[in-house]
Amino acid sequence: MPTPRKPTARIFRGTPRNLAFLARSLRAGDLVGVPTETVYGLAADALNPIACKKIFAAKGRPATDPLIVHIHSLDQLAQIAIPNPAALKLAKKFWPGPLTLILPKTDVVPAIVSAGLPSVAVRMPAHPLFRRLLKLTARPLAAPSANLFGYISPTTAEHVRAGLGRRISYILEGGPADLGLESTILDLRNPARPRLLRPGSISREALARALGRPIAWRGRHVSPSAEAQISPGLLLRHYSPRTPLVLHQRLALSSAQLSGLDEAWLFIARPRGRLRKNIFWLDARGDLRGAAKRLFAQLRALDGAGFRRIHAERASGEGPAEAINDRLTRASAR
């Protein structure tokens, strides 16, 4: 007798009825794949340790990698974290939005959420459907990106189903993610020494301006592996396609034209000249917001296309370039 195949997750449109059903499911301890403006997340009631444990099992994520807790209101911030004036200032300016703050946690946050750390990562997401779901659930929701551990983050509901479809039951459809890269993470445990842990759409410069002080990042001085000890989930190898990815400072169209068709060439902007079917770009005009939005979906598509190798080039400039290069560096690590 053939073994019965596990049913695959159902994708729900965001109707009032569906949202009410998904909110009840979350309150009952189930997992739901949710859209956010950055990437799709895998949500559970952050105050329910048994529900949060299922997140780690579904993703194959090590228990040493803490989760981000998503909130609907500043009341919920005070429930789970101990904010300082700098945090409130940034919350006022950038929330709802793609900024995660690391703050001392309160006792209601289960140890499994923070991987045993005395701090918690908090963010107020902007996606309207996720906000409605948060409001209906009336609980803070823990949610990492909804991908198998180490793989490319999902920016559509279909990406979530492709990776986790046989491990979870429910996904909320919210369209392709607006920004396409995970939130900026800022360590504000000590507001006198804010530290960037993960670059994202909100740039380090914008945060420094808002706080009126410079913000440290590892830059060239601290290796990503040393950094991983401060923020346990920031592993050097991450966001990785199965196809080897080689990162270049710049790609030359001439090399792409000479290479075998079994190697893919991923430019930031559309190169000018003779194009072949192994030549790709992230944004026709090289706009970095557009490039960030397309990056993960393009890497997934190339990973599924049977190429032997993917060549990619670094982005140059400020703002999103730092975030794009961070993800490409990790994706290329072996």
Nearest-angstrom CA–CA distance, 71 and 131: 8
Asked if residue 114 binds ligand TXA (CB under 6 A), the reply is yes
CB 122 within 8 A of CB 68: yes
Beta carbon of residue 136, minimum distance to Mg ion (angstroms, whole number): 25
Nearest-angstrom CA–CA distance, 113 and 131: 20
Token pair in block for residue 287: 């706009």
**Number of C-beta neighbours around residue 10 at 10 A:** 12
The window from 97-105, 145-153, 187-195, 291-299 that contacts Mg ion (CB under 5 A) reads: 145-153
The three-point CA angle 118-86-140 to 5° equals 50
Q: Dmax over Cα atoms in the chain, in whole Å?
A: 68
Minimal CB distance to Mg ion: which residue?
145
Nearest-angstrom CA–CA distance, 192 and 90: 14
The window from 31-39, 202-210, 215-223, 273-281 that contacts ligand TXA (CB under 6 A) reads: 31-39
Nearest-angstrom CA–CA distance, 32 and 30: 7
Asked if residue 298 binds ligand TXA (CB under 6 A), the reply is no
Among Mg ion, ligand TXA, none, residue 164 binds (CB under 5-8 Å by kind): none
The SS3 assignment for 65 reads coil
Beta carbon of residue 332, minimum distance to Mg ion (angstroms, whole number): 17
Nearest-angstrom CA–CA distance, 267 and 264: 10
Beta carbon of residue 124, minimum distance to ligand TXA (angstroms, whole number): 10
C-alpha 99, offset from chain centre:
11
Nearest-angstrom CA–CA distance, 2 and 276: 44
Radius of gyration of the chain (CA): 20
Q: Choose between 150 and 191: whose C-beta lies nearer to Mg ion.
A: 150
Q: Which residues pair with 79 in a beta bridge?
A: none
The residue from 18, 38, 48, 278 that contacts ligand TXA (CB under 6 A) is 38
Asked if residue 207 binds ligand TXA (CB under 6 A), the reply is no
Asked if residue 145 binds Mg ion (CB under 5 A), the reply is yes
Q: Choose between 124 and 264: whose C-beta lies nearer to ligand TXA.
A: 124
Beta carbon of residue 153, minimum distance to Mg ion (angstroms, whole number): 5
The residue from 121, 188, 264, 282 that contacts ligand TXA (CB under 6 A) is 121
Site mask, ligand TXA, residues 231-260, x = CB under 6 A?
Answer: xxxx--------------------------
Binding residues for ligand TXA, per CB under 6 A? 36, 38-39, 41, 65-68, 98, 100, 102, 114, 117, 119-121, 123, 125, 143-145, 182-183, 185, 197, 231-234
Binding residues for Mg ion, per CB under 5 A? 145
